[in-house]
Chain A
Amino acid sequence: MEKKEKLWFALLIVIALTFNVVTLTPAIPWQKWLLWSHPSPDKSFTIDMEDNEIRLPKGGMQVNTGEFVEFIATSQDVTYGFGVFRTDGTMVFQMQVLPGRPNRFLWKFDTPGLYSIRSTEYSGPKHPQMFVKDAIQVKS
């Protein structure tokens, strides 16, 4: 390996290491609890998906900012997605919902407001209909 190649390779390694290390730290806020602290949830909601329908828990989903909320999504037939979106359409988080097993995701909302749920994985031609507006109410 020539000197220039060694220098370039070293630069690539530095970039790779820096990016990977930084993104494993709380520089990405949710890494704090998803990867490191694993706190117990303050609240837990189960969402069932079947026949291209999203079935929310009876009584709805109300949470407070700063609470750790566990979403458990299940599917009775095919793979779906569970995505939470702000009122402006931007995504808060998402996960895949595989059939036959509980799919868990822990989240902490820091902004009060209404959040919608949309299936983020294709599950047949009725997939676009899998949207529940203002499904989660977050209070301060």
Chain B
Amino acid sequence: MAQLGFQEKWTLRFAVVGLLFLGLAGLEGVLMRLDLINPEALAGLQRALNIIRPMGQDASSAEYFYATMTAHPIVGIYGFAYMCVMGAFYFLVPFLLNKEVRFKKLVPVNFFLQITGVLIAWASGFFLLFSGLYTLYWPLPVSFDRIPVVGSALFGFGLMLIEINVLLFAYNLFATVLRKSNPSPGYSTGRYLSEAFGISRLVRLFSKKGKTEDDLRYDELPVFVVAVGRGSIDTVINAVVLLSAGALLVIYAVPAFAAGLYLNPMAIDPLIYKNWFWWGLDMVADGNVLMYAAGTWYLLIPMLVNRKLYGESVVRTVILADLLVSLFVWSHHLMADQAQPVWLRLFSGQFITWGEFLTMGLTIFSVMMTIWLARPVKFSPALKFALGSVFSFAMGGAAGVFQANIGLNVVAHNTQLIIGPHAHTMLLGGLSMLLFAVIYALIPMLTKVEIANNRWVDFHLWGWLIGAFGMTSAMGWAGNLGMLRRTLYPDGDFGPYMLVAMFFALLLAIAFVSFVFNIIRSLGWKNVINLFIPARSKAS
């Protein structure tokens, strides 16, 4: 393996820890699936785990189930996805701009703070049985008659740490792009933001002035960096909103725990809160994920097929449209709220959400045309997984816009149709396969080591793809028959469907294990362990 530099080493560290979190999120998923097959299946295990729990000795199966359900997305999104994204972007953005990361000391800070925040939020569920779910619908997480107060405080604190860390990461990313050090010229903050929101372009359009030299220089920013920049605007908004939600939990829980002082939860209007929260939360689901994914395709695919991106000027506009759309789509999460004004449900919830169909449709067209025009292409591991992610985003996206409909939502809202065919297809098929593609592409770049066994790559590909679609299809079918998400059925209703989902979930797990072993085999156990040993310790 080649000698690793500072950035290469940290990128791999982020990836390794991200994959460990994916394993943990997967394990939580399997445990919940077992509960859905038979709510008492884990009773013995939970009793055994109570040895290391300070509370919850007489908790019900439902309490354990919902505590797991609360931790699961935090570990999956902020543990796995964000860690991998941080690692990848910390390498790719400086690499493409031929610069160094602006604040190198922030890189390890981001690494440890993210792990700490995620583990604290996870621990609030595992040890303290906090079960407010990631949705944190007000005032549930501060309803201490049913939610453990200490768990609420700890979860809020963990969430705050995560979001502060995300803000630091975004700051470092922007600072790196704007950096004025040689050999690359820098960009002014105002001008960069103006470009990110497309304001400069609009001004040019209406003033009918030609492009200045400065305009041309901004136009030459790699399309990946443009996507990262625009996606990171959503990342910042998401972090600010979720930081405020975490702070609210701490503000309500700490006085209650420390002094028995219970603040009035209804001082905050649940509907206004829900709008604020979903506006921010959706900046991930319908914002940065789509833009980061598009940007990564725009970078990876041309690199892998050795051809210029098809329709590059169009996709720059598409990324801008993606950003604008992402700012106004949150109401599709409030379609079942009759108190939400109907015009918001219709325009924000339905029509603007369908804007994503157009932007993602154009993105996918551009990517597929690039591959088509580059034929014959070599189907490298990274390209196979990139194609898997394109397919999955298309399928999961179609399921999403189908449900973002004021009429159909009446029978689809909060069913397994949402969380299976839409959310988990996007996350397991779309996002995860793209992150696997990035890992497969980056490992040879960073380490000069080729992936050891291509058969294992193919097993990983098909096992993961079939596992993801099999699992989400079984969930979707159960949803079609009335199975709700976030509901534990005491009599094991829908058990057969969950059994099928479990079979495919295990296939996912086996595919994941084969991937991990293949990567470790390629790099060598010793090199993987050495990644985490400080240079000074190794020297001594």
Task: Spell out A's residues near B (CB within 8 Å).
Answer: 1-2, 4-5, 8-9, 12-13, 15-16, 19-20, 23-24, 28, 30-31, 34-35, 51-52, 77-79, 81, 83, 85-86, 88-96, 98-101, 103-105, 118, 120-129
Contacts and interface: CB of A to CB of B under 8 A. Distances in A.
Interface in B331-380: 334, 336-339, 342, 350-351, 354, 357-358, 361-362, 365-366, 369
B488 A128 contact: yes
A57 B413 CA distance: 25
A85 B482 CA distance: 8
A15 B361 CA distance: 11
Interface in B442-480: 480
Interface in B102-117: none
A2 B314 CA distance: 9
30 contacts: A5-B314, A8-B365, A9-B358, A19-B354, A23-B406, A28-B407, A77-B139, A78-B139, A78-B146, A83-B484, A88-B482, A89-B493, A90-B481, A92-B411, A94-B410, A96-B334, A96-B337, A98-B339, A99-B270, A104-B338, A105-B338, A120-B487, A121-B137, A122-B487, A124-B66, A125-B60, A125-B62, A125-B65, A125-B146, A126-B62
Contacts of A127: 62, 66, 486-488
Nearest 7 Cβ contacts at the A-B interface: A124-B146, A28-B407, A122-B486, A12-B361, A125-B62, A90-B482, A89-B482
B63 interface: yes
Interface string B269-287: 1110010000000000000
Contacts of B38: none
Given A5-B311, A16-B354, A122-B486, A95 B131 contact: no
Interface of B: 60, 62-63, 65-66, 131, 133, 135, 137-140, 143, 145-147, 266, 269-271, 274, 311, 314, 334, 336-339, 342, 350-351, 354, 357-358, 361-362, 365-366, 369, 401, 405-408, 410-411, 413-415, 480-484, 486-490, 493
A126 B61 CA distance: 10
Contacts of A105: 338
Nearest to B350: A20
Given A1-B314, A120-B413, A128 B489 contact: yes
Contacts of B336: 81, 94-96, 120
A94 B146 contact: no
B403 to A, nearest CB: 11
Given A30-B410, A35-B342, A128-B487, 6 more contacts: A8-B362, A15-B357, A34-B407, A122-B133, A123-B140, A124-B146
Given A77-B143, A78-B143, A125-B146, A93 B410 contact: yes
A14 to B, nearest CB: 11
Tell me which of B138, B139, B484, B486 has the highest count of chain A C-beta atoms within 10 A of its own C-beta: B484
Given A30-B410, A124-B146, A125-B131, A118 B338 contact: no
A123 B413 CA distance: 16
A23 B261 CA distance: 50
A125 B334 CA distance: 22
Nearest to B351: A20
B266 A118 contact: no
B338 A20 contact: no
A16 B137 contact: no
Interface of A is mostly: mixed
A91 B478 CA distance: 11
Contacts of A30: 407, 410
Contacts of B489: 128
B137 A79 contact: yes
Contact of B139 (A23, A35, A52, A99): A99
Nearest to B142: A78
Nearest to B140: A78
A37 to B, nearest CB: 14
A123 B140 CA distance: 7
Contact of A98 (B270, B407, B414, B490): B270
B482 A99 contact: no
A104 B138 CA distance: 20
B66 A122 contact: yes
Contacts of B410: 30, 34, 93-94
Nearest to A5: B311
Nearest to A105: B338
Nearest to B129: A125
Contacts of A99: 139, 266, 270
B481 A89 contact: yes
Given A98-B270, A125-B146, A118 B484 contact: yes
Contacts of A90: 480-482
Contacts of B314: 1, 5
A125 B407 contact: no
Nearest to A17: B354
B488 to A, nearest CB: 5
Given A94-B336, A121-B137, A52 B484 contact: no
Nearest to B484: A120
B486 A121 contact: yes
A79 to B, nearest CB: 5
A91 B357 CA distance: 27
A30 B256 CA distance: 45
Nearest to B69: A122
B110 to A, nearest CB: 32
Contacts of A79: 137-138, 140, 270, 274
A83 B406 CA distance: 16
A87 to B, nearest CB: 11
Contacts of A91: 411, 415, 482
Nearest to B494: A89
A100 B269 contact: yes
Nearest to A104: B338
Contact of A124 (B131, B351, B366, B490): B131
A8 B36 CA distance: 43
